[in-house]
Structure 1
Protein backbone atom coordinates (compact mmCIF):
# COMPACT_ATOMS: atom_id res chain seq x y z
CA UNK A 1 0.00 0.00 0.00
CA UNK A 2 1.45 3.35 -1.04
CA UNK A 3 1.93 5.74 1.89
CA UNK A 4 1.13 9.10 0.30
CA UNK A 5 2.59 11.13 3.19
CA UNK A 6 5.92 9.32 2.97
CA UNK A 7 5.91 9.79 -0.81
CA UNK A 8 5.27 13.52 -0.42
CA UNK A 9 8.07 13.90 2.11
CA UNK A 10 10.48 11.78 0.04
CA UNK A 11 9.96 14.02 -2.98
CA UNK A 12 10.25 17.09 -0.79
CA UNK A 13 13.56 15.71 0.52
CA UNK A 14 14.69 14.99 -3.07
CA UNK A 15 15.19 11.30 -2.29
CA UNK A 16 15.08 10.08 -5.87
CA UNK A 17 15.81 6.40 -5.13
CA UNK A 18 13.09 6.17 -2.48
CA UNK A 19 10.51 7.98 -4.63
CA UNK A 20 11.11 5.78 -7.66
CA UNK A 21 11.25 2.59 -5.58
CA UNK A 22 7.90 3.44 -3.96
CA UNK A 23 6.32 4.21 -7.33
CA UNK A 24 7.62 1.00 -8.89
CA UNK A 25 6.13 -1.07 -6.09
CA UNK A 26 2.91 0.92 -6.44
CA UNK A 27 2.57 0.47 -10.22
CA UNK A 28 3.36 -3.26 -9.87
CA UNK A 29 0.04 -3.57 -7.99
CA UNK A 30 -1.88 -2.35 -11.10
CA UNK A 31 -3.49 0.65 -9.35
CA UNK A 32 -6.65 2.32 -10.64
CA UNK A 33 -6.47 5.68 -12.40
CA UNK A 34 -7.98 7.34 -9.30
CA UNK A 35 -5.24 5.85 -7.11
CA UNK A 36 -2.58 6.96 -9.58
CA UNK A 37 -3.99 10.50 -9.51
CA UNK A 38 -3.68 10.45 -5.71
CA UNK A 39 -0.01 9.50 -6.14
CA UNK A 40 0.45 12.39 -8.58
CA UNK A 41 -1.14 14.76 -6.07
CA UNK A 42 1.20 13.46 -3.35
CA UNK A 43 4.19 14.15 -5.62
CA UNK A 44 2.89 17.65 -6.36
CA UNK A 45 2.55 18.23 -2.61
CA UNK A 46 6.23 17.30 -2.36
CA UNK A 47 6.97 20.09 -4.83
CA UNK A 48 5.23 22.49 -2.45
CA UNK A 49 7.74 21.47 0.23
CA UNK A 50 10.57 22.06 -2.24
CA UNK A 51 9.20 25.53 -3.03
CA UNK A 52 8.95 26.42 0.66
CA UNK A 53 12.51 25.25 1.36
CA UNK A 54 13.72 27.27 -1.63
CA UNK A 55 12.02 30.40 -0.29
CA UNK A 56 13.63 29.76 3.11
CA UNK A 57 17.08 29.54 1.53
CA UNK A 58 17.46 25.82 2.33
CA UNK A 59 17.32 24.83 -1.36
CA UNK A 60 18.91 26.52 -4.35
CA UNK A 61 18.09 26.82 -8.06
CA UNK A 62 19.87 23.55 -8.80
CA UNK A 63 17.63 21.81 -6.27
CA UNK A 64 14.54 23.29 -7.95
CA UNK A 65 15.67 22.01 -11.33
CA UNK A 66 16.42 18.57 -9.90
CA UNK A 67 13.02 18.51 -8.19
CA UNK A 68 11.31 19.31 -11.48
CA UNK A 69 13.20 16.51 -13.21
CA UNK A 70 12.34 14.10 -10.39
CA UNK A 71 8.68 15.05 -10.61
CA UNK A 72 8.66 14.48 -14.37
CA UNK A 73 10.33 11.09 -13.81
CA UNK A 74 7.70 10.23 -11.19
CA UNK A 75 4.80 11.21 -13.46
CA UNK A 76 6.30 9.18 -16.31
CA UNK A 77 6.45 6.17 -13.98
CA UNK A 78 2.75 6.66 -13.23
CA UNK A 79 1.71 7.19 -16.86
CA UNK A 80 0.63 3.57 -17.51
CA UNK A 81 -1.79 3.78 -14.57
CA UNK A 82 -3.01 7.19 -15.79
CA UNK A 83 -4.12 5.72 -19.09
CA UNK A 84 -0.74 6.44 -20.67
CA UNK A 85 -1.32 3.69 -23.16
CA UNK A 86 -3.88 5.80 -24.98
CA UNK A 87 -3.22 5.45 -28.68
CA UNK A 88 -6.13 7.64 -29.77
CA UNK A 89 -5.29 11.34 -29.74
CA UNK A 90 -8.26 13.14 -28.18
CA UNK A 91 -7.04 16.63 -29.01
CA UNK A 92 -4.05 18.92 -29.51
CA UNK A 93 -2.80 21.37 -26.90
CA UNK A 94 -0.40 24.20 -27.77
CA UNK A 95 1.51 24.94 -24.58
CA UNK A 96 4.04 27.49 -23.37
CA UNK A 97 5.26 29.72 -20.56
CA UNK A 98 4.39 33.27 -21.55
CA UNK A 99 6.75 36.11 -22.46
CA UNK A 100 8.79 37.40 -19.51
CA UNK A 101 8.51 34.23 -17.43
CA UNK A 102 11.13 31.46 -17.35
CA UNK A 103 9.41 28.94 -15.07
CA UNK A 104 8.51 25.57 -16.54
CA UNK A 105 8.10 23.04 -13.72
CA UNK A 106 4.30 23.37 -13.57
CA UNK A 107 4.08 23.45 -17.36
CA UNK A 108 6.11 20.27 -17.66
CA UNK A 109 3.92 18.45 -15.12
CA UNK A 110 0.80 19.50 -17.02
CA UNK A 111 2.39 18.38 -20.30
CA UNK A 112 3.23 14.92 -18.93
CA UNK A 113 -0.25 14.43 -17.50
CA UNK A 114 -1.98 15.71 -20.66
CA UNK A 115 0.00 13.31 -22.82
CA UNK A 116 -0.90 10.48 -20.45
CA UNK A 117 -4.56 11.43 -20.91
CA UNK A 118 -4.29 11.13 -24.70
CA UNK A 119 -3.55 14.68 -25.82
CA UNK A 120 -0.89 15.60 -28.33
CA UNK A 121 1.05 18.45 -26.72
CA UNK A 122 3.16 20.93 -28.69
CA UNK A 123 5.41 22.65 -26.13
CA UNK A 124 6.83 26.03 -27.17
CA UNK A 125 9.00 26.24 -24.04
CA UNK A 126 9.55 29.32 -21.87
CA UNK A 127 9.47 33.09 -22.43
CA UNK A 128 7.25 32.59 -25.50
CA UNK A 129 6.57 35.75 -27.48
CA UNK A 130 2.99 36.66 -28.39
CA UNK A 131 3.70 36.30 -32.14
CA UNK A 132 5.12 32.81 -31.60
CA UNK A 133 1.88 31.64 -29.97
CA UNK A 134 -0.20 33.17 -32.78
CA UNK A 135 1.87 31.78 -35.67
CA UNK A 136 2.06 28.27 -34.19
CA UNK A 137 -1.67 28.28 -33.41
CA UNK A 138 -2.46 29.26 -37.00
CA UNK A 139 -0.14 26.51 -38.25
CA UNK A 140 -1.31 23.53 -36.17
CA UNK A 141 -4.87 24.64 -35.28
CA UNK A 142 -4.96 23.20 -31.73
CA UNK A 143 -8.22 22.69 -29.86
CA UNK A 144 -6.67 24.16 -26.71
CA UNK A 145 -3.93 26.69 -25.96
CA UNK A 146 -2.35 26.43 -22.52
CA UNK A 147 -0.40 29.34 -21.06
CA UNK A 148 1.68 29.04 -17.93
CA UNK A 149 3.26 31.62 -15.67
CA UNK A 150 4.54 31.94 -12.12
CA UNK A 151 5.39 35.65 -11.97
CA UNK A 152 2.67 38.27 -11.50
CA UNK A 153 3.75 40.01 -14.73
CA UNK A 154 2.79 36.83 -16.58
CA UNK A 155 -0.87 37.85 -16.27
CA UNK A 156 -0.32 40.85 -18.56
CA UNK A 157 1.59 38.69 -21.04
CA UNK A 158 -1.30 36.21 -21.04
CA UNK A 159 -3.77 39.04 -21.73
CA UNK A 160 -1.64 40.36 -24.61
CA UNK A 161 -1.41 36.85 -26.09
CA UNK A 162 -5.16 36.18 -25.83
CA UNK A 163 -5.96 39.51 -27.49
CA UNK A 164 -3.53 38.74 -30.34
CA UNK A 165 -5.01 35.26 -30.81
CA UNK A 166 -8.52 36.68 -31.00
CA UNK A 167 -7.37 39.36 -33.46
CA UNK A 168 -5.90 36.58 -35.62
CA UNK A 169 -9.22 34.68 -35.49
CA UNK A 170 -7.72 31.71 -33.64
CA UNK A 171 -10.69 29.77 -32.28
CA UNK A 172 -8.89 27.52 -29.76
CA UNK A 173 -10.02 27.44 -26.14
CA UNK A 174 -7.50 29.07 -23.79
CA UNK A 175 -6.59 27.71 -20.35
CA UNK A 176 -4.12 29.54 -18.11
CA UNK A 177 -2.25 28.13 -15.14
CA UNK A 178 0.27 29.06 -12.48
CA UNK A 179 0.62 30.52 -9.00
CA UNK A 180 -0.75 34.03 -9.73
CA UNK A 181 -3.80 32.76 -11.62
CA UNK A 182 -7.22 33.38 -10.04
CA UNK A 183 -10.79 33.57 -11.29
CA UNK A 184 -10.44 37.36 -11.46
CA UNK A 185 -7.19 37.23 -13.46
CA UNK A 186 -8.73 34.65 -15.79
CA UNK A 187 -11.56 37.08 -16.58
CA UNK A 188 -9.01 39.91 -17.01
CA UNK A 189 -6.95 37.81 -19.41
CA UNK A 190 -10.00 36.63 -21.35
CA UNK A 191 -9.24 32.94 -20.88
CA UNK A 192 -11.86 30.19 -21.13
CA UNK A 193 -10.56 28.37 -18.04
CA UNK A 194 -7.88 28.53 -15.36
CA UNK A 195 -6.21 26.19 -12.90
CA UNK A 196 -3.41 26.06 -10.34
CA UNK A 197 -3.39 22.25 -10.33
CA UNK A 198 -2.09 20.14 -13.22
CA UNK A 199 -4.46 17.21 -12.64
CA UNK A 200 -7.45 19.55 -12.51
CA UNK A 201 -6.16 21.27 -15.65
CA UNK A 202 -6.16 18.00 -17.57
CA UNK A 203 -9.77 17.31 -16.52
CA UNK A 204 -10.78 20.80 -17.68
CA UNK A 205 -9.10 20.17 -21.05
CA UNK A 206 -10.92 16.85 -21.40
CA UNK A 207 -14.15 18.78 -20.86
CA UNK A 208 -13.19 21.40 -23.45
CA UNK A 209 -12.74 18.84 -26.23
Structure 2
Protein backbone atom coordinates (compact mmCIF):
# COMPACT_ATOMS: atom_id res chain seq x y z
CA UNK A 1 0.00 0.00 0.00
CA UNK A 2 1.24 3.49 -0.87
CA UNK A 3 2.55 5.34 2.24
CA UNK A 4 -0.09 8.10 2.13
CA UNK A 5 -2.91 5.56 1.80
CA UNK A 6 -1.39 3.56 4.66
CA UNK A 7 -1.37 6.72 6.80
CA UNK A 8 -5.07 7.29 6.07
CA UNK A 9 -5.80 3.63 6.84
CA UNK A 10 -3.83 3.65 10.10
CA UNK A 11 -5.27 6.99 11.21
CA UNK A 12 -8.81 5.64 10.83
CA UNK A 13 -7.90 2.56 12.88
CA UNK A 14 -6.48 4.89 15.53
CA UNK A 15 -9.51 7.19 15.37
CA UNK A 16 -7.35 10.24 14.57
CA UNK A 17 -9.81 12.42 12.65
CA UNK A 18 -7.51 15.43 12.19
CA UNK A 19 -4.75 13.25 10.72
CA UNK A 20 -7.22 11.51 8.39
CA UNK A 21 -8.35 14.94 7.16
CA UNK A 22 -4.75 16.08 6.63
CA UNK A 23 -3.61 12.91 4.85
CA UNK A 24 -6.73 12.74 2.66
CA UNK A 25 -6.03 16.25 1.41
CA UNK A 26 -2.36 15.35 0.92
CA UNK A 27 -3.34 12.30 -1.13
CA UNK A 28 -5.60 14.45 -3.31
CA UNK A 29 -2.83 17.05 -3.72
CA UNK A 30 -0.46 14.26 -4.77
CA UNK A 31 -2.77 13.12 -7.54
CA UNK A 32 -4.24 9.97 -6.04
CA UNK A 33 -7.52 8.95 -7.67
CA UNK A 34 -10.52 9.63 -5.44
CA UNK A 35 -11.74 6.05 -5.88
CA UNK A 36 -8.35 4.72 -4.71
CA UNK A 37 -8.36 6.94 -1.60
CA UNK A 38 -11.93 5.85 -0.85
CA UNK A 39 -11.51 2.12 -1.45
CA UNK A 40 -7.92 1.42 -0.39
CA UNK A 41 -7.63 3.99 2.38
CA UNK A 42 -11.06 4.46 3.94
CA UNK A 43 -13.30 1.50 3.11
CA UNK A 44 -10.45 -0.97 3.69
CA UNK A 45 -9.83 0.61 7.10
CA UNK A 46 -13.50 0.44 8.08
CA UNK A 47 -13.61 -3.21 7.00
CA UNK A 48 -10.70 -3.83 9.38
CA UNK A 49 -12.45 -1.86 12.16
CA UNK A 50 -15.45 -4.15 11.68
CA UNK A 51 -13.26 -7.25 11.82
CA UNK A 52 -11.53 -6.08 15.01
CA UNK A 53 -14.92 -5.39 16.59
CA UNK A 54 -16.25 -8.83 15.69
CA UNK A 55 -13.14 -10.48 17.13
CA UNK A 56 -13.48 -8.59 20.40
CA UNK A 57 -10.33 -6.49 19.96
CA UNK A 58 -12.36 -3.31 19.42
CA UNK A 59 -15.48 -2.29 21.31
CA UNK A 60 -18.23 0.21 20.49
CA UNK A 61 -16.14 3.30 21.47
CA UNK A 62 -13.26 2.25 19.18
CA UNK A 63 -15.66 1.50 16.35
CA UNK A 64 -17.33 4.87 16.87
CA UNK A 65 -14.14 6.94 16.83
CA UNK A 66 -12.88 4.99 13.81
CA UNK A 67 -16.12 5.73 11.97
CA UNK A 68 -15.94 9.40 12.94
CA UNK A 69 -12.36 9.61 11.68
CA UNK A 70 -13.43 8.06 8.38
CA UNK A 71 -16.27 10.58 8.12
CA UNK A 72 -13.79 13.43 8.64
CA UNK A 73 -11.85 12.17 5.64
CA UNK A 74 -15.04 11.71 3.62
CA UNK A 75 -15.94 15.35 4.25
CA UNK A 76 -12.75 16.32 2.40
CA UNK A 77 -13.16 13.66 -0.27
CA UNK A 78 -16.88 13.94 -1.04
CA UNK A 79 -16.77 16.99 -3.38
CA UNK A 80 -14.04 15.27 -5.42
CA UNK A 81 -16.05 12.03 -5.55
CA UNK A 82 -18.99 13.96 -6.95
CA UNK A 83 -16.78 15.77 -9.48
CA UNK A 84 -15.20 12.48 -10.57
CA UNK A 85 -18.64 10.83 -10.73
CA UNK A 86 -17.61 8.06 -8.32
CA UNK A 87 -20.86 6.29 -7.49
CA UNK A 88 -21.76 4.71 -4.14
CA UNK A 89 -22.33 0.95 -4.24
CA UNK A 90 -25.97 1.52 -3.30
CA UNK A 91 -28.36 3.66 -1.26
CA UNK A 92 -29.36 2.57 2.25
CA UNK A 93 -32.26 4.26 4.04
CA UNK A 94 -32.10 3.86 7.82
CA UNK A 95 -34.50 4.78 10.57
CA UNK A 96 -35.83 3.92 13.99
CA UNK A 97 -39.45 2.86 13.62
CA UNK A 98 -42.54 4.86 14.57
CA UNK A 99 -42.87 5.36 18.33
CA UNK A 100 -39.18 4.74 19.07
CA UNK A 101 -36.82 7.67 19.74
CA UNK A 102 -33.57 5.75 20.27
CA UNK A 103 -30.84 6.61 17.78
CA UNK A 104 -27.36 5.72 19.09
CA UNK A 105 -27.31 2.26 17.49
CA UNK A 106 -28.91 3.53 14.30
CA UNK A 107 -26.34 6.34 14.05
CA UNK A 108 -23.48 3.88 14.41
CA UNK A 109 -25.00 1.67 11.72
CA UNK A 110 -25.21 4.74 9.45
CA UNK A 111 -21.49 5.43 9.93
CA UNK A 112 -20.44 1.82 9.34
CA UNK A 113 -22.67 1.46 6.28
CA UNK A 114 -21.29 4.69 4.83
CA UNK A 115 -17.83 3.36 5.60
CA UNK A 116 -18.68 0.30 3.51
CA UNK A 117 -19.23 2.51 0.45
CA UNK A 118 -22.96 3.24 0.52
CA UNK A 119 -24.84 6.50 0.31
CA UNK A 120 -26.89 6.74 3.51
CA UNK A 121 -30.32 8.32 3.77
CA UNK A 122 -30.81 8.69 7.53
CA UNK A 123 -34.54 9.11 8.15
CA UNK A 124 -34.01 9.67 11.88
CA UNK A 125 -36.18 8.37 14.72
CA UNK A 126 -39.93 7.84 15.14
CA UNK A 127 -40.18 7.19 11.40
CA UNK A 128 -43.59 6.60 9.86
CA UNK A 129 -43.84 3.56 7.55
CA UNK A 130 -44.75 5.86 4.65
CA UNK A 131 -41.37 7.62 4.98
CA UNK A 132 -39.61 4.30 4.33
CA UNK A 133 -41.91 3.70 1.35
CA UNK A 134 -41.01 7.13 -0.01
CA UNK A 135 -37.28 6.45 0.49
CA UNK A 136 -37.58 3.34 -1.70
CA UNK A 137 -39.39 5.36 -4.36
CA UNK A 138 -36.46 7.79 -4.27
CA UNK A 139 -33.93 5.05 -4.95
CA UNK A 140 -33.03 3.22 -1.73
CA UNK A 141 -32.15 -0.39 -2.51
CA UNK A 142 -31.64 -1.39 1.13
CA UNK A 143 -33.79 -0.43 4.13
CA UNK A 144 -32.59 -0.68 7.73
CA UNK A 145 -35.28 -0.80 10.44
CA UNK A 146 -34.32 -0.39 14.08
CA UNK A 147 -36.29 -0.72 17.32
CA UNK A 148 -34.99 -0.66 20.88
CA UNK A 149 -38.26 -1.13 22.74
CA UNK A 150 -40.34 -4.30 22.92
CA UNK A 151 -43.39 -2.05 22.51
CA UNK A 152 -42.16 -0.72 19.15
CA UNK A 153 -41.06 -4.04 17.64
CA UNK A 154 -44.50 -4.57 16.01
CA UNK A 155 -43.87 -1.40 13.97
CA UNK A 156 -41.05 -3.20 12.16
CA UNK A 157 -43.55 -5.71 10.79
CA UNK A 158 -46.09 -2.96 10.04
CA UNK A 159 -43.44 -1.05 8.09
CA UNK A 160 -42.57 -4.13 6.03
CA UNK A 161 -46.29 -4.64 5.38
CA UNK A 162 -46.61 -1.01 4.22
CA UNK A 163 -43.72 -1.54 1.79
CA UNK A 164 -45.44 -4.69 0.53
CA UNK A 165 -48.82 -2.96 0.12
CA UNK A 166 -47.10 -0.18 -1.84
CA UNK A 167 -45.92 -2.83 -4.30
CA UNK A 168 -42.24 -2.16 -3.60
CA UNK A 169 -41.21 -5.23 -1.63
CA UNK A 170 -39.38 -6.87 -4.53
CA UNK A 171 -37.38 -3.69 -5.19
CA UNK A 172 -35.64 -3.55 -1.82
CA UNK A 173 -33.73 -5.62 0.71
CA UNK A 174 -34.77 -5.11 4.33
CA UNK A 175 -32.49 -5.60 7.31
CA UNK A 176 -33.60 -5.25 10.92
CA UNK A 177 -31.87 -4.79 14.25
CA UNK A 178 -32.07 -3.43 17.78
CA UNK A 179 -31.72 -4.87 21.27
CA UNK A 180 -34.99 -6.87 21.43
CA UNK A 181 -34.84 -8.00 17.77
CA UNK A 182 -33.71 -11.54 16.94
CA UNK A 183 -32.86 -13.48 13.80
CA UNK A 184 -35.96 -15.64 14.35
CA UNK A 185 -38.17 -12.56 14.55
CA UNK A 186 -36.60 -11.16 11.38
CA UNK A 187 -37.41 -14.38 9.56
CA UNK A 188 -40.98 -14.49 10.90
CA UNK A 189 -41.82 -11.01 9.64
CA UNK A 190 -40.25 -11.50 6.22
CA UNK A 191 -37.13 -9.36 6.57
CA UNK A 192 -34.17 -10.24 4.35
CA UNK A 193 -31.66 -10.21 7.18
CA UNK A 194 -30.88 -9.47 10.82
CA UNK A 195 -27.83 -7.61 12.12
CA UNK A 196 -26.93 -7.82 15.82
CA UNK A 197 -24.54 -4.86 15.59
CA UNK A 198 -23.33 -2.08 13.29
CA UNK A 199 -20.42 -4.06 11.86
CA UNK A 200 -22.70 -6.93 10.86
CA UNK A 201 -25.18 -4.43 9.39
CA UNK A 202 -22.48 -3.10 7.06
CA UNK A 203 -21.51 -6.63 5.99
CA UNK A 204 -25.16 -7.58 5.46
CA UNK A 205 -25.83 -4.49 3.34
CA UNK A 206 -22.78 -5.29 1.19
CA UNK A 207 -23.99 -8.87 0.74
CA UNK A 208 -27.28 -7.53 -0.63
CA UNK A 209 -25.56 -5.69 -3.49
CA UNK A 210 -22.80 -8.23 -4.19
TM-score (norm 2): 0.66
Structure 2 CA distance for partners of 1:197 and 1:185, relative to 1, 3 Å: same
SS at structure 1 position matched to 2:15: helix
Over the aligned positions, Cα root-mean-square deviation in angstroms equals 3.3
Distance 1:43 1:136, change over 3 A: farther
How far does the alpha carbon of each residue in 1:24-74 deviate from its partner, in whole angstroms, 9 at most, with x for none?
39979x896354334556697346xxxxxxxxxxxxxxxxxxxxxx97554
Give the counterpart of 2:149 among 139, 148, 151.
151
> Once superposed, which parts of structure 1, at least 4 consecutive aligned residues long, lie more than 6 Å away?
25-28
Match of 2:95 in 1: 96
CA contact (8 A) 1:148 1:176 kept: yes
Which residues of structure 1 form unaligned runs of 5+? Answer: 1-19, 48-69
Corresponding pairs, count? 164
Query: What are the ranges of 5 or more consecutive residues in structure 2 without an aligned counterpart?
Result: 1-11, 24-40
What SS does the aligned partner of 2:87 have? coil
Q: Per-residue displacement from partner, 1:98-135 (whole Å, max 9, x unpaired)?
A: 01111111111111111111111111100001122223
Quote the Cα distance in structure 1 between the aligned partners of 2:159 and 2:58.
28
Q: Does 1:75 align with 2:67?
A: yes
Mean CA deviation greater in 110-119 or 32-41: 32-41
Task: Report the equivalent of 2:134.
Answer: 135
* Structure-1 separation of matches of 2:58 and 2:167: 36
